[in-house]
A and B are shown apart, each in its own frame.
Chain A
Amino acid sequence: MAVIKTENLTYIYGEGTPFEKKAVDDVSLEIYEGEMVGVIGHTGSGKSTLIQHFNGLLKPSAGSVYIDGEKLWEDKARLREIRFKVGLVFQYPEYQLFEETCYKDIAFGPKNMGLDEAETDRRIRETAQMVGLKSELLDKSPFELSGGQKRRVAIAGVMAMKPKVLILDEPASGLDPKGREQILSLLKEYHQATKSTVMIVSHSMEDVARYADRILVMNKSKLFCLDTTEKVFHRSEELSSMGLSVPQITRVFNRLKIMGVIPERDVYTTPYALKLVLGELGKE
Chain B
Amino acid sequence: MIKDITIGQYFPGISPVHRMDPRVKIILTAVFIVMLFVADSIWGLIVGAAFTLVSFMISRIPLKLMFKSLKPILPIIIFTGVLNLFFIKSGDVYFHWKIFTITSEGVRTAIFMAVRIICLIIGTSLLTYTTSPIDLTDAIERLLSPLKKIKVPVHELAMMMTIALRFIPTLIEETDKIMSAQKARGADMETGSLMKRAKALIPILVPLFVSSFRRAEELALAMECRCYHGGEGRTRMKQLRMTVLDGYACFYTAAFFACVIAVNILI
Contact = CB atoms under 8 A, between A and B. Distances in A.
Interface of A: 14, 18, 52, 55, 57, 80, 83-84, 87-90, 93, 95-98, 108-109, 112-113, 143, 157-158, 161
Interface in B163-180: 177-178, 180
A90 B185 contact: no
B207 A97 contact: yes
Contacts of B210: 95, 143
Nearest to A90: B181
A265 B12 CA distance: 52
A109 B185 contact: yes
Given A83-B184, A87-B184, 11 more contacts: A52-B180, A57-B184, A80-B188, A89-B184, A90-B181, A96-B203, A97-B207, A108-B203, A109-B185, A109-B186, A157-B185
B112 interface: no
A58 B210 CA distance: 26
Nearest to B180: A57
Contacts of B184: 55, 57, 83, 87-90, 158
A18 B12 contact: yes
B11 interface: yes
Given A57-B180, A90-B180, A143-B210, A98 B203 contact: yes
7 contacts: A83-B186, A96-B182, A108-B182, A108-B186, A109-B185, A113-B186, A158-B184
B3 interface: yes
B237 interface: no
Contacts of B197: none
Contacts of B211: 95
Nearest to B174: A95
A93 B182 CA distance: 10
Interface residues of B, number: 21
B206 interface: yes
B202 interface: yes
Interface of B: 3-4, 11-12, 177-178, 180-188, 202-203, 206-207, 210-211
B186 A84 contact: yes
Contact of B186 (A52, A80, A98): A80
B180 A98 contact: no
A84 B183 CA distance: 10
Contacts of A108: 182, 185-187, 203
A207 B202 CA distance: 36
Contacts of A161: 185-186
Nearest to A81: B186
Contacts of B188: 80, 112
Contacts of A157: 185
Nearest to B206: A98
A57 B203 CA distance: 17
A18 B11 contact: yes
A159 B130 CA distance: 48
B207 A112 contact: no
B202 A93 contact: no
A96 B181 contact: yes
B202 A98 contact: yes
Contacts of A89: 184
Contacts of A88: 184
B68 to A, nearest CB: 13
Contacts of A14: 3-4
Nearest to A158: B185
Contacts of B203: 96, 98, 108
A93 B187 contact: no
Contacts of B11: 18
Among A84, A93, A112: residue with most chain B CB under 10 A: A112
Nearest to B11: A18
B185 A98 contact: no
Contacts of B185: 83, 108-109, 112, 157-158, 161
Contacts of A158: 184-185
A158 to B, nearest CB: 6
A112 B187 contact: yes
Nearest to B178: A96
Nearest to B209: A98
Contacts of A113: 186
B165 to A, nearest CB: 17
Contacts of A96: 178, 181-182, 203, 207
